[in-house]
């Protein structure tokens, strides 16, 4: 969590002259997001976030991410809305980096989401899926099932170092999810967030106030987004599944968009797959992050503990579906 | 520039319940200040900054710093005003650290202050001195002349590494400032900021909007504060004295509080002393900061270049006084 690129006041003033936002009255680097530089920006016209995209963001994906947020904002789904310059252009350049100004979203990210927040998250995940139903752009999920064996390659020793016996378990997860995928029917697809962790959701008290950080958004099975959220919202202290929270999240989702039988049946496999995806990227970060790095990598074992739960789950009701 | 201590939403809510500020609607770590953790905090009642004091702040100094800001705010001098809890207490504890909520100050810190901003800074430095005239608490300048030989001890080799011949020059600066001090008359004293660099001053355009970061404030010669500002505001690209900017700063100050002859006469020595103070602390940070630290130390040579200018200056007019 850091600001990687500093912006001089001259450059900021020049940048703002391309917008109809008036002049800056406040500008502070904020420690939000690990991949980009974000600034709190206040002008005569209100509060905004200025984002500079750093190395890890693929510039060719940025128009898609902007379009997702613009589409959601147009449908009144609360998210950071990209602000157009006087020329109608949203993605510009500042200090040699792609840059965008988005609207400021009120709310706080819950450290330990409660049951009411899990329910609200489920409801709004479904609303987001519905709002994106007529969004026509597509993006492949670059961290989908095909990527997992690639990420895994050559890392079984690292997994064994973390927890003896883990390597064989992960192999079995890869096999099982691949087999299940081959057999499962086509699931309803659409635009998903794919990374809706509690730090990417805002609440005021228990009231949902918006979603941020769409930089993993892609076209994939809608129910996979639910599986990501169950992993991210309903496990406590790294490993314990909180049945009430999971049930609340699923009930919230269903209150807006009821799951189809095919989605319900495949939920344990999707949860296992989502846990694998985060296990794999954390394992890569764990190995590749130098010990003196600014950002401490997250422990992959949080996700091997989740995988242990998913391996035993046999149906959606094990997650609180219909409870 | 980082957030060192994270604050959970539960702890924040409990902390806020001791205030009459309503509940949090936004809370973001900001990359401001290198010594403390600062958060942008918005509640039903407005915008604030929450500061958690980290290791380097001496807890016994904090009540003094709070009192300085409260005194200034009462006199309508723009600075972050410490907000009282329901019990009237300003300094509280959060996540095991002393913590304070202060009012939010609009404005941006200039990267390269222009002449108009230098003039405004001079004016407002004098206003600040006047507003603090009846402030009765005292604090010794722990980085005053007595500290310089202590900081210097054992570091001449480091100085030589940075620039051959520098060690002898610094010794001559220490001698000259000590001798001048012994001979100089008592100067008007009061409460000074002692660290009023451009990143601690806010402007909206060329309009001064406030001063932050009073964590070096102390009781000392008022003119020493001017000397710090001349070093911090009127040199460009590390070494070049911008006569117009220095003249504007001094004229601005004098437009509010004309210098006494004793202050005017000793200005070159005070400037040399102020440059020594920042040279010394930068030299210490340069030596003591591990290469993998979050905060990159500032180059002490910026201040040896300023010292070269001050060594040649013979009167206040060399700084643009009366120009």
Summarised one tens digit per residue, pLDDT across range B198-233 is 999 999 999 999 999 999 999 999 999 999 999 999
Q: Is the pLDDT of residue B34 over 80?
A: no
pLDDT in tens, B129-157: 999 999 999 999 999 999 999 999 999 99
Q: Rounded to whole angstroms, how far apart are CA atoms B266 and B215?
A: 26
B195 interface with A at CB cutoff 8 Å: no
pLDDT in tens, A205-248: 999 999 999 999 999 999 999 999 999 999 997 679 999 999 99
Q: Are B166 and B160 in contact (CB under 8 A)?
A: yes
Inter-chain touch B28–A26, beta carbons under 8 Å:
no
With bands split at pLDDT 50, 70 and 90, how would you rate the model's confidence at A294? Answer: low
pLDDT in tens, A26-43: 999 998 766 789 999 999
With bands split at pLDDT 50, 70 and 90, how would you rate the model's confidence at A16? Answer: very high
Top CATH class, A115-319: alpha beta
Q: What is the pLDDT of residue A289?
A: 74
Supply the mean pLDDT for chain B: 94
Q: CA of B240, closest CA in chain A: separation in Å?
A: 20
Inter-chain touch B30–A30, beta carbons under 8 Å:
yes
User: Any idea what DSSP says for residue B82?
Assistant: B
With bands split at pLDDT 50, 70 and 90, how would you rate the model's confidence at A3? Answer: low
Question: B292 to chain A: which residues are within 8 Å by CB?
Answer: 292
The gap between the terminal CA atoms of chain A, to the nearest Å, is 38
Mutate which: B17, B28, B40, B48, vs A, most A CBs within 10 A: B28
**Rounded mean pLDDT, B276-284:** 95
| Coil, strand or helix at A220 | strand
Q: Are B63 and B75 in contact (CB under 8 A)?
A: no
A106 interface with B at CB cutoff 8 Å: yes
Q: Domain boundaries in chain B?
A: 9-103, 115-319
A308 interface with B at CB cutoff 8 Å: no
Q: Are B233 and B282 in contact (CB under 8 A)?
A: no
**Which run of H or E residues covers position B63?**
helix B62-74
Inter-chain touch A108–B3, beta carbons under 8 Å:
no
B23 interface with A at CB cutoff 8 Å: yes
Inter-chain touch A1–B1, beta carbons under 8 Å:
no
A110: nearest CB among B9, B109, B294: B9
With bands split at pLDDT 50, 70 and 90, how would you rate the model's confidence at A1? Answer: very low
Classify domain A9-103 by CATH number: 3.30.200.20
Residue of B nearest to A208 (CA): B25
Question: B12 to chain A: which residues are within 8 Å by CB?
Answer: 108
Q: What is the pLDDT of residue B183?
A: 87
B26 interface with A at CB cutoff 8 Å: yes
Q: What is the pLDDT of residue A288?
A: 79
- DSSP per position, B27-53: EEEE---SSEEEEEEEETTEEEEEEEE
Quick one: B34 exposed, middle or buried, by C-beta within 10 A (0-12, 13-18, 19+)? Answer: middle
Q: Are A305 and A241 in contact (CB under 8 A)?
A: no
Q: Rounded to whole angstroms, how far apart are CA atoms A316 and B82?
A: 52
Q: Are B196 and B229 in contact (CB under 8 A)?
A: yes
Inter-chain touch A292–B294, beta carbons under 8 Å:
no
Q: Is the pLDDT of residue B318 over 50?
A: yes
Q: What is the pLDDT of residue A62?
A: 96
In A210-269, the residues whose Cβ lies within 8 Å of chain B are none
Q: CA of A171, closest CA in chain B: separation in Å?
A: 36
Q: What is the pLDDT of residue A34?
A: 63
Chain centroid to CA B227: how far?
12
Question: Among residues of chain B, what percentage have pLDDT more than 90?
Answer: 85
A107: nearest CB among B25, B40, B106: B25
Query: B81-96 burial, b if ≥16 CB within 10 A, otherwise e?
Result: bbbebeeeebeeebee
Supply the mean pLDDT for chain A: 94
């Amino acid at each position: 969590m850091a600001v990687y690129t500093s912006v001089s006041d001259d450059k900021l003033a020049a940048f703002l002259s391309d917008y109809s936002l008036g002049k800056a009255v406040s500008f502070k680097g904020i420690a939000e997001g690990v991949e980009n530089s974000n600034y709190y920006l206040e002008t005569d016209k209100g509060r905004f976030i200025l984002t500079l995209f750093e190395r890890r963001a693929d510039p060719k994906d940025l128009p898609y991410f902007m379009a997702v947020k613009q589409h959601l904002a147009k449908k009144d789904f609360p998210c950071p809305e990209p602000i157009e310059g006087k020329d109608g252009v949203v993605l510009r350049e500042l200090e040699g980096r792609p840059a965008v100004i988005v609207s400021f979203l009120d709310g706080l990210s819950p450290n330990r989401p409660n049951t009411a927040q899990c329910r609200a998250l489920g409801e709004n995940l479904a609303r987001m899926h519905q709002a994106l139903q007529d969004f026509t752009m597509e993006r492949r999920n670059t961290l989908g099932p095909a990527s997992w064996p690639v990420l895994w390659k050559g890392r079984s020793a690292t997994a064994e170092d973390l927890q003896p016996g883990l390597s064989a378990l992960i192999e079995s997860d890869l096999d099982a999810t691949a087999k299940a995928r081959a057999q499962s029917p086509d699931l309803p697809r659409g635009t998903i967030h794919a990374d809706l962790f509690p730090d990417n959701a805002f609440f005021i008290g228990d009231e949902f106030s918006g979603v941020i950080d769409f930089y993993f958004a892609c076209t994939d099975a809608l129910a996979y987004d639910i599986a990501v959220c169950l992993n991210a919202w309903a496990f406590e202290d790294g490993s314990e599944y909180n049945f009430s929270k999971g049930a609340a999240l699923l009930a919230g989702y269903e209150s807006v968009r009821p799951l189809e039988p095919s989605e319900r049946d495949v939920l344990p496999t999707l949860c296992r797959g989502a846990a694998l995806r985060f296990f794999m990227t954390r394992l890569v970060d764990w190995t590749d992050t130098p010990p003196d790095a600014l950002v401490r990598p997250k422990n992959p074992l949080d996700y091997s503990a989740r995988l242990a739960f998913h391996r035993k789950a046999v149906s959606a009701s094990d997650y609180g579906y219909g409870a």
